[in-house]
Amino acid sequence: MEDVSLAHAKDHLEELIERAARGEDVRISDPELGTVRLLPVTDTQAARPVRRPGRLKGKLTVPARLFEPMSEEELKLWYGEID
């Protein structure tokens, strides 16, 4: 495992990516942003989950008030016309 600074990572990013792809543990540290670890993405992680339209049908409730028109006060707030 190797910790490298953010400045070093900017200059040697391609090398660090190759090392992480080979299975080495590479961490990039910055005092303000913290530390991150480079990991190769596996095929199972890259694949997106299958989307099934309608799978939440009947599981969510929408309040009836959502479809009511906004009051004058709400419209002023919506358009940024605060008195």
Show the DSSP H helices in the chain as ranges.
6-11, 13-21, 43-46, 72-78
For the record, the structure tokens of 64 come out as 């009836």
Domains of the chain from N-terminus onward? 2-41 (3.40.1620)
Q: What is the mean pLDDT of residues 27-33?
A: 92
Whether pTM exceeds 0.95: no
Q: Which residues pair with 35 in a beta bridge?
A: 29
DSSP state, residue 12:
S
The per-residue pLDDT for range 38-81, each reduced to its tens digit, is 988 776 656 677 888 999 899 989 899 899 999 999 999 999 98
At 41 the pLDDT is 78
For the record, the structure tokens of 11 come out as 């200059």
